[in-house]
Structure 1
Amino acid sequence: MPSRPRFRGLPVLLLSLLLAAGCSGVAQQLPEPAPDRESADRAAALGDPRTVDPCSLVDDAALARFGEVRDAGTVSLDYCLLRVRADGGALAQVKVGELAPEDPGQSDPVVGEAEPRIAQEAPLPGHCTRRVLLGDRSVLVSADQLAGGPGVELCGMAQAGAEQAAAAIREHRVAHRNFPANSLAVLDPCRVLSTDVVRQVPGLEDAEPVAAPGGHQCQWGPDDASAPRVRLVHTAGDPPAVLHGTAVEEQIAGRRTVTSVVGGDPATPLCSAETGHLPFGPAGGGQVEVAMLVVAYPDGTGLDACEFARGLAERAWPGLPPR
């Protein structure tokens, strides 16, 4: 395990790296390739991706033939989550609306006559995905089996959801949420946390920030289970809560924060630090916007990852807008 400096008199390892990069700095985003006119026109049909209401892309009626449909509640600013209970008791989960970069080299079958068309990914056990193509990006619609035996029509659900999402975009029926100026939804997470600070995490010395197309996530490091990575996500849902024995409620940079080994097993080298922000959704619903830092540190334990998460949160939270 690589050696890590300790800051004199403080128990949290990452407090040393908090000071190593100085007291200021704004993360620099990777330049995005300039889209061609066709790609730009397709993306424009969606509108500002930061404010899209993903639940406006799908209606319960599109999935009703597969079983009883219910809204699973907001867990992300990027997608709408639905649950489908089939007649035989099987339970599936459908996610609609998350944006992903579209690789022009992908060769999945593409169906549909009208734009936007739909790419059909090969199904995996218990999972099926469709992509609504918008030039250099796509809208993901996926179905996952949560419970029950075989025979659940996951690809049928994903296809039905994708067809409705494509129609909503084509017919300019995409709804947008209204967020105040101090909302996390309209704040670029790549500008909240300094890349110089992230680079103090062992293994991330050369990391660059990569922004997700929806504008609510920024990641440093590869999507590789054997490599360290840091991700800052602006999301929404229930307020951060202490859910197991490896979770701690604490004050970080003056904000109530829940730091937690993901899954609760200290051996899992993955930790999150979450802080609530403005109320989200209908008045009285109890949900809030959430800033969430996730740190993967495969060379250590979940407790090591949490030390880094705490230190990064010390530097990120002051960059959040006032409540």
Structure 2
Amino acid sequence: MVGALVVAVGTGLYFGVVRDSGGSSSDSLDGGGFDNLLTLDPCSYLDPDSFAGFADKGVGDAPAVRIEPTGFDSCAVELERSEKGGPRYTVTVRTETGYIVPSEVPDDLEVAERGAVQVTTADVALDCAQLIFRPDGTTVSVDTKASVTDAEGGYSRETLCRIQDIATDAAVAALGANTADRMAYPADSLGGTRPCSRLEDAEIMSATGAVEVSKRERDRDYVCIWSAGPASVTLAAKLVPTAADRPDGARETIAGRQSTIVDQFFFSNTETCDITLYGRTWTPWPGKQYDYAETGDDSSSGFIELTELSVSLFSGGSREEACRMARELAERAWPRLPGA
């Protein structure tokens, strides 16, 4: 390990760490889920019944709770809830696994010992955010938000944090005892492999014209970032519902695979181009999930994998140039993806 980065993202916490790259995960599923985050079932330690006291009733007596993956290493718990006769709103508890350097946790964050793990809590005005970590740096971040902030009928922060406590307690128990489940991904899946293995530094330099490149694997195994002069290159493996809206953009065949190209403008000094490639579908998802609706045709049970390659240029770059670089890198990366 080289060092750590600590960045505030919105009102939540982001802990990033510079780590050595690695290859694909082991085929063995011996041991607990936190032994290898590349094969973790991200929702396996969350129980819908534990949230029943804070959720409305769904079908029958089932609590109005959904638990679904939001990525290979993240999960969302959604509670439908009404208060004081006001509107029904959704509370979302998101968990995400990753790594930190425990010794470099900022001194201004309060750290509490809870058995084999430690817990930090952010002082956030409108939501709750915590980070649970072991001495080896394996972490679970927990962040909770509500869809409505109505003084007459919305949530209170106290209630929101009590709901988050349920997820935090589950994460503390699972991380401390290493009791989460593991998943076996087939060869045609992005699951179990790191995006950093798809591109070489020399290829980044060739596409961007940079004289040197530094690779940074963020706190999550499924995201890799390269800094190359004025350019930043990001390659990420994602898992989204099959019913989710697909990005609007130009369809183009790259390395024999149909891709979507979206050029974006975020800030006055940043031009970004994204290229997305869809891959394997899961119907249903084999990991743990829960939907209180219990319908026979539950579209939420289906997921699709995608690879997203993004090039951002700073200090005077153009979107056309960002897309040229992104195309060149996709030509290199796509043949190394599953299913190529």
**Which residue of structure 2 aligns with residue 67 of structure 1?**
55
Secondary structure of the residue that 2:180 maps to in structure 1?
coil
Q: Where do 5+ consecutive residues of structure 1 fail to align?
A: 1-28, 33-42
Q: Distance in 1 between matches of 2:40 and 2:326?
A: 29
> Displacement, 1:98?
2.4
CA contact (8 A) 2:114 2:172 kept: no
Counterparts of 1:167-246 in structure 2 under 5 Å? 167-200=173-206, 202=208, 205-221=211-227, 228-238=231-241, 242-244=246-248
1:81 aligned to 2:81? no
**Which residue of structure 1 aligns with residue 305 of structure 2?**
289
> Displacement, 1:112?
4.5
Q: Per the alignment, do residues 197 and 145 of structure 1 end up closer, same or farther by CA in structure 2, a change over 3 Å counting?
A: farther
Cα displacement string for residues 143-169 of structure 1 (whole angstroms, at most 9, x for unaligned residues): 134333362444333332121111123
Counterparts of 1:124-163 in structure 2 under 5 Å? 125-135=125-135, 136-149=137-150, 151-152=156-157, 153-163=159-169
Question: What code does the residue aligned with 2:311 have?
Answer: V
> Displacement, 1:57?
2.5
Q: Per the alignment, do residues 82 and 302 of structure 1 end up closer, same or farther by CA in structure 2, a change over 3 Å counting?
A: farther
Q: Distance in 2 between matches of 1:157 and 1:213?
A: 25
Percent identical pairs in the alignment equals 21
Question: What code does the residue aligned with 1:48 have?
Answer: N
Q: Distance in 1 between matches of 2:268 and 2:330?
A: 20
**Which residue of structure 2 aligns with residue 309 of structure 1?**
326
> Displacement, 1:192?
0.5
CA contact (8 A) 1:266 1:302 kept: no
Q: Per the alignment, do residues 170 and 267 of structure 1 end up closer, same or farther by CA in structure 2, a change over 3 Å counting?
A: closer
Cα displacement string for residues 55-92 of structure 1 (whole angstroms, at most 9, x for unaligned residues): 11222234344434533644311100222333243433
**Which residue of structure 2 aligns with residue 253 of structure 1?**
255
Secondary structure of the residue that 2:40 maps to in structure 1?
coil
Secondary structure of the residue that 1:182 maps to in structure 2?
coil
Q: Per the alignment, do residues 166 and 196 of structure 1 end up closer, same or farther by CA in structure 2, a change over 3 Å counting?
A: same
CA contact (8 A) 1:276 1:290 kept: yes
**Which residue of structure 2 aligns with residue 99 of structure 1?**
98
When the two chains are superposed, the root-mean-square deviation of aligned CA atoms in Å is: 3.4
Question: What code does the residue aligned with 2:40 have?
Answer: V
Richer in strand (by share): 2
CA contact (8 A) 1:116 1:166 kept: yes
Secondary structure of the residue that 2:71 maps to in structure 1?
coil
For structure 1, which segment, 68-77 or 157-166, has the greater mean C-alpha deviation from structure 2 after superposition?
Answer: 68-77
Q: Distance in 2 between matches of 1:286 and 1:86?
A: 25
Q: Where do 5+ consecutive residues of structure 2 fail to align?
A: 1-17, 22-30, 57-63, 286-298
TM-score, normalised by the number of residues in structure 2: 0.70
Q: Distance in 2 between matches of 1:192 and 1:263?
A: 26
Aligned residues: 279
CA contact (8 A) 1:79 1:95 kept: yes
Q: Distance in 1 between matches of 2:93 and 2:265?
A: 22
Question: What code does the residue aligned with 1:96 have?
Answer: T
For structure 1, which segment, 209-218 or 172-181, has the greater mean C-alpha deviation from structure 2 after superposition?
Answer: 209-218
> Displacement, 1:213?
4.9
Q: Per the alignment, do residues 319 and 64 of structure 1 end up closer, same or farther by CA in structure 2, a change over 3 Å counting?
A: same
